[in-house]
Amino acid sequence: MKHLLSLEHLSAADMHAILKRVSAFKSRRADHARPLSGQTWAMIFSKSSTRTRVSFEVGIHELGGRPLFLNAGDIQLGRGEPIRDTARVLGRMVHGAVIRTYAQADVDEFARFSGIPTVNALTDEEHPCQILTDIYTFEERRGPITGKVVTFVGDGACNVPASWIWAAAKLGFELRIAAPPAYQPPAELLARAGGRVVCEADPLKAAAGADLLYTDVWVSMGREAEAEARLRELGAYQINAAVVQAAKPGALVMHCLPAYRGKEIDEATFEAHADTIFTQAENRLHVQKGILDWLVSV
């Protein structure tokens, strides 16, 4: 049984196996294979979503399956039914599950008890579908990411940089994280992942010669109570003209979205790189079809 629970548990070979399926799905959107034919996939979401929800609903449908969107607050899970019981019920009714929630342990538990392929559609700890898409988008424009330099600017301790850390270790590129000390990734994660990851307090130093500049919101879902402090403490960690100027000429700028202009990225930089950023958003659809196809293939 294959799952996509985290990039920690995906080998480089698995990542390549997923990414190599994507171009066929992207170029032949109307008449590609239908590996989910006759299947129903549950999508259990405890947090807001635009891109992930729509790309999985459309993707499951275009692969021949039926998406069943379940707002976690609308099912008995939201009234305290244990995850392991929800998992054992759904595992007898549907063919796969896509879950967005808070604790990584909850997605792992669902996978263990349901007996159906399970996808992490974002937890507090990781966002693997996003980072696989970002890598596909980078390689579509610039070739293999191995050996390149990726600089993340912003909250270096949230889910998105954590998935980048695992990707860097497995695919062999340099990852630099520009964040104040309190927003750098946990030392335990860095030690466990290995790879070339540099944490740096100065965003201009971190951006020097980078092939890709990347940012994410300063206030992740579930952290709203800390918003005021985060906006103050992360104020200097914005992708703007000075940061772009420090990077390699022609460096790509990406944002997983949603974007807050004037905070993690300024308006002019966002709009100058909007084509890359919205291609990145579109590619969620194509890459997640690759993920689903990989999950159900033997």
Question: Residue 272's binding partner, choosing from ligand CP, ligand NVA, none, with beta-carbon cut-off 5 to 8 A by kind?
Answer: none
Q: Note whether 198 and 206 are within 8 A (CB).
A: yes
Question: Residue 220's binding partner, choosing from ligand CP, ligand NVA, none, with beta-carbon cut-off 5 to 8 A by kind?
Answer: ligand NVA
CB of 177 to ligand NVA, least distance (A): 14
Q: Note whether 293 and 64 are within 8 A (CB).
A: no
Q: Using CA atoms, how far apart are residues 36 and 43, in angstroms rounded to an integer?
A: 15
CB of 52 to ligand CP, least distance (A): 3
Residue 257 contacts ligand CP per CB under 6 A:
yes
Which of the residues 3, 51, 95, 127 is marked catalytic?
127
Q: Which tokens is 25 given? A: 């799905």
Coil/strand/helix, residue 177: strand
Residue 50 contacts ligand CP per CB under 6 A:
yes
Q: Compute CA 96 distance to the chain's CA centroid, rounded to the nearest angstrom.
A: 19
x-or-dash string of contact with ligand NVA, 144-183, rule CB under 6 A: --------------xxx-----------------------
Burial class (CB in 10 A: 0-12, 13-18, 19+), 225: exposed
Question: Residue 50's binding partner, choosing from ligand CP, ligand NVA, none, with beta-carbon cut-off 5 to 8 A by kind?
Answer: ligand CP
- List the strands of the sheet with 252-255, edge to edge: 197-200, 174-178, 149-153, 212-215, 252-255
Q: Which residue is nearest to ligand CP (CB)?
A: 52
State the residues that interact with ligand NVA by CB under 6 A: 122, 158-160, 216-217, 220-221, 256
Q: Which residues are catalytic?
A: 100, 127, 130, 216, 256, 284
